Structure 1
Amino acid sequence: MQTMISRFLRTAAAALLLAPMAPLTAPAQGLFSPAVKVDEMVITNYEINQRLAFLQVLRAPGDARKLAREQLIDDRLKMRAAQELGITVTPEQIAAGMEEFAGRANLTADQLIGELSKLGIATETFRDFVEAGMAWREVVRVRFAGQAQVSEAEIDRAVSAGGGGSSVRVLLSEIIMPAPPPEAEAVLARAQRIAQTTSEAEFSAAARQYSATATARAGGKLPWQKIEDLPPVLRPLVLALSPGQVTDPLTIPNAVALFQLRALEETAFTRPSYSAVEYAAYYMAGGRSPQTLAQAAEIEARVDTCDDLYGVAKGQPEEVLDRNALPPEQIPTDIALELAKLDPGETSTALTRAGGQTLVLLMLCGRSPATDEAPDREAVATGLRNRRVGGLTESYLEQLRANARIVTVE
């Protein structure tokens, strides 16, 4: 059950990973007192603590308490907007939404509720989260469906741009800090402090002190990379930055990652598109001990292709060597981050598993280009409509917030 829950929560959080589950601490005094007032609507300390616990289970990046507060404010505004439009979500629809949410991991809603309850997270917290999302989707449909039409000319331009023209490449610095379970909270807190800097010198100093990757000696500095080569989960985070800014902490297995944007430029080239990335992972007991790292260096010196790793693993249990060919969006985030730095035949020893007790010798086998197919005009049109609705929706929610009186209760 625990494995299925972990897989589900990673999916539900769009590549955000499950933290070690621990029971909630005892409630503080004034738990049911108002914490925030949104016009006449009240958000209690209890609700914030519950949403905080839910987000911590989902391992949401950034300041989870602040995010919990902001989400609950948005949920109040969304539910009021639905009420004003006469939109209601029936108990049967909410139940179906909860089943769909849990069903992404072949779980029932009752199974997921049972796991959350072990952490002190109430069924109502899960239900309210689902209800607000369902109500808001209906609000968006009613308000903006008629404004999302796209013309044939717009589709033509999007199809023409899709095969080449301009794209973006970025100059990043990275910090990837080991965070085995006993140290996870302290490492995340440190990452949140580092994320506030806009100084390249400060970020580089932190990389030299804390980062576990080979780039640490160079202050975490990476060479120019095409945005398409970055893991899908990282691309929107990077594109949202201005030079000098740092991403919110990104949690990956046994580690926390930060990325600082140093520069961004538009380039002219044909965008590469990969249907699959093939890689091999050889698992070595001993973690990042000097002996294991020395053994890994010796292996790296004598292997040139992924096929060579079969000889290294010969006579050992089958599970010590894992070889996969996956679409980019299905590759685990930490592996995708390392593969983005590699050419075929190159290796990395930056990752660990089993709480840091197992070293991963990772090798990129190759990237399979996507076949050239005629663009699906309907798919392009759907993408344009979704983008337009997304912009309208974001502006509408900002308007609701601007018009509301939001007060933090002392």
Structure 2
Amino acid sequence: MKQFLLATLAALATAIHAPAALAQSLTQPVDGIVAVVNDDVILRSELDRQVAQVTTQFANNPAQLPPRDILERQLLDRLILQKLQIARAVDSGIKVSDAQIDQTLVQIAQQNRLDVSQLRGAIESQGMDYGQFRNNVRDQLLVQHLRQQVGQSRAQVSDAEIDSLIKNGHVRTEQLHAAHIVINVPEGATPGQIDEAHAKAEDVVRQIRGGMEFAAAALRYSNAEDALQGGDLGWRNANELPPALVAAADKLQDGEITDPLRGPNGFHIVKLIGKRDAGAQMVTEYKLQHILVKTSELVSSAQAKQRIEAIRNRIVGGEDFAKAAIDSSEETETARLGGDMGWAPAGAFGPVVQQIVDGLKKGEVSQPFEAPPGWHLLKLDDTRQANMAGQMQRSEAKNMIFQRKAEEEYMSFLRQLRSEAYVEIRLPGSEPPKAGSNS
């Protein structure tokens, strides 16, 4: 999930430096509907905005872009999937508060070496609407929370799996930098549809080996969410990736690609960009205490914030944090321990919490902050350096297995979501759907 958020922030941040042509495209009047998605629509202006952003990314090498009609269909498919995810998130009761959006905007600003006021000025100086930019951030956070919800409900990790990973020596310390292209196979695909997807994947491999850049092929053909980033997966611990992908990468030299690999969701093409041995993985670990006040239908965000602020004032005034946690925290697992969360490595609780922890001194209590399922306080008790190589902790092993399963489960979830939706494409040249069709 962390990689997904960082990719999202990076994509949003690129708009800040877009040329005037992109800014103008963001302010063009609505000129029609290009798709109907269940009870929602996608406007021509939304699609034009996506096309302008991609065109800007490839400004130095426009020949790598597919023809306009193919690019529009690829981007429209991604907009459709985004609409479906946002709708499902809202239907599932997922909410994103203004405070969470503000925290994310701080991250985007810092990535661009700006403060939030400068970020807003940079956006508006390009002719873009800051309110729309905030809405884009909100939508991406909704999707992120949906991914977390689906992963937590579907990706179960047993003690036996953790024991096996450690006992059999399958915990690998090396890291891989890979990129991938995914050619989806429809839910309940016929043998003919599977053969068609395989043939398409083989054709993509031929084009890449014939000279097409992998990133351009990902943009043109991949059904994965990271296609706009060239399918780049970044540096990942080998245990976080599907075993079949790792096994294929083991046989590659830097820059080489695999033949099509059959996966649960379709066919994958993998490019190995690099390998490195993590060696002695010295990481910073944090010992934290935590207090939570939950929001609910009966307790609004404002009410929960008021309660957590009152708790913090008591602590700052001299009350012991552990006592306050026992008396007031609604995190049942840690409240009885005085809010003690034990030792955890950097990044274990996500980028938002890590940013807050990084700003604390030993013994300091954080300002209240909001993240599902409510308002939080953290106290930094201590820090230490730990070598993770060769002594895989159960929590780390569990996280690696979970991340791998969660990614696979979410891909299956997206295929099901798309297959169950009513989608009518109205792009020029697209055939109207047959009666009863979902696409």
TM range (shorter): 0.3 to 0.5
TM-score normalized by the length of structure 2: 0.43
TM-score normalized by the length of structure 1: 0.45
